[in-house]
A and B are shown apart, each in its own frame.
Chain A
Amino acid sequence: MSAPVLAVEGLGVRLRSDRGIADILDDVSITVPRGGTVGVVGESGCGKSTLLRAILGILPRGAEPPKGRILFEGRDILPDRAASARGRIGFVPQDPYLSLNPVFRAGDQILEIMRRHARGSRAEHKRRLVELFRAVQLPDPEAALRKYPHQFSGGQRQRLLIAAAMSCDPALIIADEPTTALDVTTQREILALLRGLVVERGLSLLFVTHDFGVLANLCAEVTVLYAGRVAEAGPTRDVLDAPRHPYTRLLLACHPDRATDLLGIPGTVPAATAQPGGCRFHPRCPIIHSGCVVEPPPLLPLPGDRAVACPWHADPLPETIGG
């Protein structure tokens, strides 16, 4: 097996603000094999977007220098904010509205990125971009070069950004819930497009979502985050069919398609500035043991390429609470 495209190792991100210190990510490790598709799931505020931002080198102001390593094609890109290797990572953002500057032409903004990261002349870049616009099925690709961002619809803008992510011949595509701002029909089209492009060009994909349906469709492997830590990881099928971590089990029981009764998880995700000690899920966990309060559980390897951060993963959940 060849070296992975991306290996995040023990990543820790700490944010300082008026409200206190927050460990947004704590010892998170994720590997994206070459040609692989990896999903990251979790509730809002669990650190999904921060993980992507750390990989892209655009952590918010007020973040301390992150701990750990981020190996992209074997080189650690974490210390160097402007690492040129990042030109080979394409990013599809969550919100297509303010990802491009409204006062400059969309085409010019993408060409600017290509000037920085892609080989060839401006004319070649233009030709390649028009091809990409065609590949992402933007109507009238030639004219799209000269349009301003506001002249595209929401779905078109997301296609535009997928084209931008593809523009510099990336090895890895990172997508941050690229369909949450869109309606369901457009969502389906965009996902089909993204999957098509990734398969066709043999790219690797790191996909963040909170939608298990999308995950099952798009990703071969999954990592479940809870409050900035990895709760469970493994092949998507296996994790969805037989979740082991109590959080994953409860989360899946919440999914309307799967649950017999619609159940919630008691409590809410803790505020990032007030994380509980020990296992961060313990205040909401139905099978809490005394040890859970004391020390964060290590990520235990399981057979079948899986891992779970709960020593009690084999115990059944109480009937009254979950599946």
Chain B
Amino acid sequence: MNALRLLLRDPVATFGLAIVLLAVVVAIFAPWLAPYPDDAFESHLLRRLRPPSAEHPFGTDNLGRDILSRVILGTRNALLVAVSVVVAAMAIGVPIGLAAGWREGWLSETLMRVTDVFLAVPQLILALALGQLLAPGIAAAMVALALTYWPFFARTVFAETRRLRSALFVDALAGIGARPSRILFLHVLPNAAPAVLVRATIGMGFTILTAAILGFLGVGAAPPSPDWGLAVSEARQHLPEAWWFPTFPGLAILLLVLGFNLLGDGLRDAADPRLRRSRR
């Protein structure tokens, strides 16, 4: 709770937190908040490409669907993708980082070299390739993103584990017979938690952006689901006349990614106990 107070003292981070919380609320209550919840899948060809008006504040798209409703309904998708991708990436990266940091020798070397290979390949390219390889769709995009993001967690946790491996408190724990898994998860991992948390938060923003790019390139979400990246992609054919069509989904992407990044930066400053003292 101490960390939260420090976070709220930073106006920029608070702004980021507000955006993220707003997005979470919108995602949870999306079907009730959207003025035309059925427009997720229903089209009204007679109302297509109407500019913003009182009836449709964000206008309508090429199939006559209310864009505001689709932006609201798309929030749920965006957050779901972000959270599951980051959780999956952590589930892969954290144990690998712990194991590689704890052990010495071939196992550690192998794990870290594999990590380096994944780090060296540009993420978007790898995600595109994996997305194409599996059947295109939101699930494939999520698998691809998780498989490209875990090395960041592995590296972060590896560095911290290596630093603490020979610390006296670790030796003492081993001395009284604590098993490595207990030492690693209960005593070493909490030291890496601030760094992991920051990575995860920034990873959320990154994932939303990359998922949108994949959607735009046709490897992510498939029509007619209300995906922001997909909407921007569909809008291309109707530019420059229907400016509102790509603008509002695009702004939603921008805002949420910005929110996660600002929050991540704020967390980094607030949550690391070693940095905390210098801020007092």
Interface residues of A (CB under 8 A from B): 18, 53, 56-58, 60-61, 81-82, 93, 95, 98-104, 109, 148, 150-151
In the bound complex, what is the Cα–Cα distance between A99 and B274 (angstroms)? 15
Contact of A103 among B166, B176, B191 (CB under 8 A): B191
- Are B273's CB and A93's CB within 8 A? no
Beyond the given pairs A101-B169, A150-B276, 17 more chain A to chain B contacts, judged by CB atoms under 8 angstroms and listed by A's residue number, are: A53-B171, A56-B175, A58-B171, A58-B174, A61-B174, A81-B177, A82-B177, A95-B168, A98-B168, A101-B187, A101-B190, A101-B191, A102-B191, A103-B190, A103-B191, A150-B273, A150-B274
Interface residues of B (CB under 8 A from A): 105, 164, 166-169, 171-172, 174-177, 187, 190-191, 193, 273-274, 276-277
- Which of B175, B177, B274, B276 has the largest number of chain A CB atoms within 10 A? B175
Give me 28 A-to-B residue pairs in the complex whose CB atoms sit less than 8 angstroms apart, sorted by A's number: A18-B105, A53-B171, A56-B175, A58-B171, A58-B172, A58-B174, A60-B166, A61-B174, A81-B176, A81-B177, A82-B176, A95-B168, A98-B164, A98-B167, A98-B168, A99-B168, A99-B169, A101-B167, A101-B190, A101-B191, A102-B191, A102-B273, A102-B274, A103-B190, A103-B191, A148-B273, A150-B273, A150-B276
A101 to chain B, nearest CB (A): 5
A-B contact count (CB 8 A): 47
Specify the main secondary structure of chain B where it touches its partner. Answer: helix
In the bound complex, what is the Cα–Cα distance between A229 and B176 (angstroms)? 28
B36 to chain A, nearest CB (A): 49
Enumerate the 8 nearest inter-chain pairs by beta-carbon distance, A residue then B residue, closest first. Answer: A58-B175, A98-B167, A99-B168, A103-B190, A58-B171, A101-B169, A57-B175, A82-B177
Q: Provide the residues of chain A in CB contact with B193, threshold 8 Å.
A: 103
- Are A103's CB and B273's CB within 8 A? yes
B276 to chain A, nearest CB (A): 8
Q: Provide the residues of chain A in CB contact with B168, threshold 8 Å.
A: 93, 95, 98-99
Q: Provide the residues of chain B in CB contact with A99, threshold 8 Å.
A: 167-169
In the bound complex, what is the Cα–Cα distance between A82 and B175 (angstroms)? 7
A274 to chain B, nearest CB (A): 21
Contact of A98 among B169, B190, B277 (CB under 8 A): B169
In the bound complex, what is the Cα–Cα distance between A109 and B187 (angstroms)? 12
- Are A100's CB and B273's CB within 8 A? no
- Which of B166, B169, B174, B193 has the largest number of chain A CB atoms within 10 A? B169
A105 to chain B, nearest CB (A): 11
Q: Provide the residues of chain B in CB contact with A102, threshold 8 Å.
A: 191, 273-274
A10 to chain B, nearest CB (A): 22
A98 to chain B, nearest CB (A): 4
Q: Provide the residues of chain A in CB contact with B164, threshold 8 Å.
A: 98
B188 to chain A, nearest CB (A): 9
Q: Provide the residues of chain B in CB contact with A93, threshold 8 Å.
A: 168
- Which of B172, B274, B276, B277 has the largest number of chain A CB atoms within 10 A? B172
In the bound complex, what is the Cα–Cα distance between A235 and B115 (angstroms)? 57
Q: Which residue of A lies closest to B176 (CB)?
A: A82
Q: Which residue of B lies closest to A93 (CB)?
A: B168
Q: Provide the residues of chain A in CB contact with B176, threshold 8 Å.
A: 81-82
In the bound complex, what is the Cα–Cα distance between A307 and B175 (angstroms)? 33
- Are A100's CB and B169's CB within 8 A? yes
In the bound complex, what is the Cα–Cα distance between A103 and B174 (angstroms)? 18
Q: Provide the residues of chain B in CB contact with A151, threshold 8 Å.
A: 277
Q: Provide the residues of chain B in CB contact with A103, threshold 8 Å.
A: 190-191, 193, 273
Q: Which residue of B lies closest to A109 (CB)?
A: B169
